[in-house]
Chain A
Amino acid sequence: MMISARGLRKSYGGIEAVKGIDVEVSAGEAFGFLGPNGAGKSSTMRMIAAVSPVDAGSLEILGMDPATHGSEIRARLGVCPQEDSLDNELSVMENLVVYGRYFGLSRAEASSRAKEQLAFVQLTERAKSRVEDLSGGMKRRLSVARSLINQPDVLLLDEPTTGLDPQARHQLWDRLFRLKQQGVTLVLTTHYMDEAEQLCDRLVIMDNGVIVAAGSPLELIAAHSTREVTELRFGVGDNESMAEKVADLADRVEVLPDRLLLYTDDGEQASQAVHDRELHPVSSLVRRATLEDVFLRLTGRTLVD
């Protein structure tokens, strides 16, 4: 077991950010924390990173207690924090080398690994640029490269793709897949269900400091949603009243401000039935159920507004 937490808690002053969660991550797994703003994802990640002390509960990382073996644990972790903590005034290369030195690497070793990692995240041409001059997405990739300088056993990524354009996101996903193939355990947080579905073997959905569901993406969808969803958009304000008229066409109907969601195993059929009743939505769309639907089901809220 790479990470094992029981009844993990964290509060800041009066705010309880993490309210007793249980998490187990085994070697080679890609594990995700999915949840809205303020769910407690970063607070949990910082405890796992052995930088933020645990208030209560037990936590073991790589078989060690972070309260007594923080340094030993951190030596084997790669950490990519939510906010980039790069040195803006130094070059891309210098950032990596200086950071590598913190892990006790020789200068030669640090710079050869730095070159490798820059190639891995496709920043080789920018090796000499000052970090200040990089785009947001490039900084994010540099943060990932930096977190790999010590060849970690476990890589912690707090919202690795926030702020990346779609192409850069897919590139980063591809890099993370490769790391996983090399046996690196990945732990990441995200707001994006597609990211969680793509990357994670197993994930937990967090809300308000607690875990509301856990499992593989498919398990979660099977357990908490129907196979398909029909989305209907009526005019603004009409969605509420239309919900009653279609209620019998699906297992469950969810009313959002801008649309209705009909949960059913056959979306086309539901869509046809709506049509047959001459209800004429402005648009209708049938799609596969996603983790977003699971989240909506469990919390009554959408993930990203």
Chain B
Amino acid sequence: MNPTDLSAQIACRFPSLACLREPEDLLPYSFDGTAAYRQMSAAVVFPTNAREVADLIRWTAQEGAPVVTRGAGTGLSGGSLPTVGSLVLCLTKINRVLEVDARNLTLLAEAGASTADVAQAAEGAGLFYPPDPGSMKVSTIGGNVAENSGGLRGLKYGVTRDYIMGLEVVLPDGELVWLGNKCVKDVAGYSLKDLFIGSEGTLGIVTKVLLRLLPKPAEKKTLLATFARMDAAAATVSAIIAARIIPCTLEFLDRITIGCVEDFAQVGLPRDAEAILLMETDGHPAAVEDEGRQMERIARENGATSVQIAQTAEEATRLASARRTAFSALARVSPTTILEDATVPRSELARMINFIQQTAAKHRLRVGTFGHMGDGNLHPTFLTDERNHDEMGRVEQAMREIFDFAIELGGTITGEHGVGMAKKPFLPKAVGDASLGLMRQVKRALDPDNLLNPGKIFD
């Protein structure tokens, strides 16, 4: 069906469904948080409940119309980029937090609820939802599930997957299913909900999410260590983990990133440092006190030029939120900002960081690197200009080398942002033929006509 017919038919068949069709309305939905991809859709619809989603999908499946699910469009791999002639299904109007169950420590939310709303609702009940991606004020919980997003607390608390107890999903043929429940233990059949976590909208549309919560940690301590050399920061991370401490946060910023964040947030980061480590430990007050002291000592022993301890909760929040803006702040430097997501086993971190720096120098590129050091998840960010074709060529070459090296070290091409469009060319090498073949079989089994987010992850 051609795009005009598709949108006209929707207006006629689903009169109560909000639907955008004009170019001025569609253009703002022609991209997500990923640099340089743009593609117009045929229409954007805003269902308000799961039933509407199911009815719509049953119809689009019959018509053979491709559908791209979109949360807040903060994705960093082009996952919610429309495909040609597709219908964008935007979930931001299905956004209620439905229930916080303090007896079972669970929270039920609609997929379009923002991560921050979920975290706040949990906190309101004295509970804790740990995954906190940098985009959490905007990103939807459904998008977090679809990308299996991480955050700043991954080292101790894991990623989104570790908190999913159940999902309501609309399947590619329009059927509405519930997967999972509030039971801590459940081995009745395949764990199907896990299939949809990290599936990037290619297998089904998540409409509700049942999350596991934790008691809120009683105490938290935030430290900021400054280093004159990057490898000293990496050594500190290794030493902390070797000392059997699992802090909730071990985030680092390099010099370029520090400057950009400071330009925006003015939190007093030391601009002359080569690296800073943001470290956070939480839990029982006595343990927090002890671990905080140990981390300070270890940082100093490994060459930290200064270690600052946040004196108030506000100061701690300010430091952490400054870190959250690192990626966007890097965009100050140059017109085009391309973020990578290479991840290696923690033990290989120092080698990976060195390699990134050498590769950038070799190709005469500006790269700001920050990331989740405790998770081995780095975000080398290329500061470039899409009009400069020669430089863009070098960026692609450098990216390829970085991915190859990450794979060589037993790592992966993406730790948390997903494959989408951006990592598609690198997937075969990262996972191998057998694994990729299995992914294709799963996709064919669930979505034989290739209508949900076609062309993402693999062709």
- Please determine whether chains A and B interact with each other in the same assembly: no
